[in-house]
Copies of this chain bind each other. A is one copy, B any other.
Amino acid sequence: MRIQVINPNTSEAMTHKIGLAAQAVARPGTQIIACSPADGPVSIEGHFDEAIATLGVLEEVRKGREQQVDAHIIACFGDPGLLAAREYASAPVIGIAEAAFHMASLISTRFAVVTTLTRTRIIAEHLLQRYGFSELCTSVRCIDLPVLALEESGPELIECMAEQARRARDEEGAGAIVLGCGGMADLGRQLSEAIGLPVIDGVAAAVKLAESLVDLGLTTSKHGDLADPIGKPFKGRFAYMSR
């Protein structure tokens, strides 16, 4: 089984980290193909970055489709381009935010999200609403560090995240913590030890859900609103997308 893990931003160090996190939980027969677009923002910290990055996500999906991968993972916590990718791909597509929410809801009655910037909280909240998890999530908490600052993680970073997680645990009754950024994929174990709660990394969660769907022979429903995009002309730079 080959699973394409797409880092929607263009930071190779993060792509590498995400690839390692994915491979670490993949089962023996699963090959992880970590990739990221050549074009786009080095980090995704708002709707604008996300909108531009979505184009890169779709082009990586196209490559993955040509390589006949068995599943695609979108490894940015805003799940950018998820429904567009489900239309465009024939293999299943999983976003790391949805993956983490699903797993968290299987092991707790209430969970919290710890993410990077306050300004991206609304993105997570909109996803929780659309996916149906608003009532299960006690809060989306922010440490207000830029995404790329996660690269230089030290004990202060973990402590900073732990502080938010403890407040969610003690003040709101959260029973599990979701890591709210693909760049946090290597921090789960340390955070879990610091706070005594299970911590869910969306990259790892998405790998297991992707394997699961493949094992079950399930892929995106092609009846209705996620069917292949309707063939039509695209103009200019996107003429190659004409079908």
Contacts and interface: CB of A to CB of B under 8 A. Distances in A.
Contacts of A45: 229-230, 232
Contact of A132 (B39, B87, B134, B233): B134
A13 interface: no
Interface string A119-160: 111110010011111111000000000100000000000000
Contact of A238 (B40, B43, B83, B129): B40
Interface residues of A, number: 91
The 4 lowest CB-CB distance pairs between A and B, nearest first, are A39-B236, A208-B212, A132-B132, A175-B221
A212 B211 contact: yes
Contact of A122 (B109, B212, B215): B109
Can you tell how many copies of this chain the complex includes?
6
Contacts of A122: 83, 109-110, 173, 225
A113 interface: no
Contact of A196 (B42, B92, B223): B223
Contact of A106 (B136, B209, B230): B209
A105 to B, nearest CB: 7
Contacts of A226: 47, 107-109, 175
Interface of A: 10, 25, 27, 37-43, 45-52, 54-55, 58, 81, 83-84, 86-88, 92, 94, 98, 102-103, 105-110, 118-123, 126, 129-136, 146, 169, 173-176, 196-198, 200, 204-205, 208-209, 211-213, 215-216, 218-221, 223-227, 229-230, 232-238, 241
Contacts of A38: 235-237
Contacts of A27: 27, 215
Contacts of A208: 211-213, 215-216
A225 B41 contact: no
A46 B198 contact: no
